[in-house]
Amino acid sequence: MSDTLLADANLRLEKALRDVTISQDAIERLTHPKASLSIAIPVRMDDGSLRVFPGYRVRYDDSRGPTKGGVRFHPNVSIDEVQSLAFWMTFKCAVLNLPFGGAKGGVTVNPKALSKLELERLSRGYVDAIADFIGTDVDILAPDVYTNAMIMGWMMDEYSIIRRQFSPGVVTGKPIAMGGSLGRETATAMGAFFVIQSVWAQQTRSPGETSIAIQGFGNAGAILADLLFHAGYKIVAVSDSQGGIYAKQGLDIPSVRHLKESSRKLKAVYCEDSVCSSVDHQVITNADLLALDVDILIPAALENQITAENADRIQANHIFEVANGPIASSADTTLEAKNIQVFPDILVNAGGVTVSYFEWVQNRSGFYWTLEDVNDRLQTKMVEETAKIQRSPKNSPSPSELPRMFTP
């Protein structure tokens, strides 16, 4: 693997350029971020002490419009990580034909170690430091790892205070009461579901005959598992950071979600009301899940889960990347040799940025859509762009031919 994440991302760009013809000028621009900002954020802690946290914001490319990208709070955030994520956001927005360029931001912090008031001071301090770097028509923030609607609300409010005017369009993923969009919290999972449905409509195997393993049972993975389960697919394995469960006959996903939400544990159960009964299952590791003999593998957890070291163990015929960068470039050659079809994250998990775009449009117009409107537009967008990317787009179903499932 390359020395830096950005260098590794550029290896993928070099490979993609073999199949397209663009000017050398455009290639040169795409290998360098347009602007990178490193900041120090002083935060007064609850005990009266002062701590300073490193923060970053990168606008990678704005050729298509204002840049767009999330803000993550995590102990491992670095300028290299933020630059590489901004790089991928550039291509994700282009893949979905959104009028945005790519950006990303982050703060090096363990948010779990902060009180709610400390977290608010940090969030507002971050915006104070980058206020001249962002804007509704310049760079738009969004939630990412360990940031949520509440934090986005603080950030939007702070920017509005600085600008002395209500500025909802500078941040997406906000609370509904502050100009957020319906459907934003489920957008990543819904978008991935629409991509899978679009692709699988061309397969001879029916959903009921299709086995799926999902690594990652957080917001995106759990909602996607639920959508696929209700669409008739056989979810045979799921996992979280502690490990996973496998049942060849398939898992009852609503019951697994119910138990996970109530006990924070993964277990194969069947629940009727509040009573859950254990069913036969096998406890497995995350590494075991990746190597299962299934039709579809969905990595929905962290980056670099499939590498040169374990790529030869992958048995799935299709991989849909719901996490950001779950497959390292070092694994590409092995997966290609095994004829495993990989549907990349810049398409599969682009539902989040697509609904963020819808939120931005609603903020600018002052006209807000229903949940059905949001999901209908999302489905149309995901299916259309999936068809364009596939080799035989004429075989892709139209949006009207796919089932509508708006309630996860």
For the annotated catalytic residues, the residue numbers are 104
> According to DSSP H, which parts of 17-148 are helical?
24-30, 79-95, 116-130
User: Which amino acid belongs to residue 111?
Assistant: P
Straight-line distance from the first to the last Cα atom of the chain, in angstroms, rounded to the nearest whole number: 38
Residue 174 · residue 194 · CB < 8 Å: no
Opening angle at CA 296, ends 92 and 307, nearest 5:
65
The angle subtended at Cα 349 by Cα 265 and Cα 336, nearest 5°, is 100
DSSP one-letter code for 306 = B
Contact assessment for residue 279 and residue 252, using Cβ atoms and an 8 Å cutoff: yes
What letter does residue 397 receive in the DSSP assignment? Answer: P
Asked whether the CA dihedral 269, 196, 333, 30 is positive or negative, the reply is: negative
Angle between helices 149-163 and 116-130 (to 10 degrees): 50
CA 315: distance to chain centroid?
24
CB 191 within 8 A of CB 349: yes
Q: Which of 76, 66, 74 is nearest to 34 (CA)?
A: 66
User: At CA 385, angle to CA 23 and CA 211, rounded to 5?
Assistant: 125
* Residue 59 host element (H or E): strand 50-61
Residue closest to 319 by CA, chosen among 339, 348, 343 = 343
CB 309 within 8 A of CB 331: no
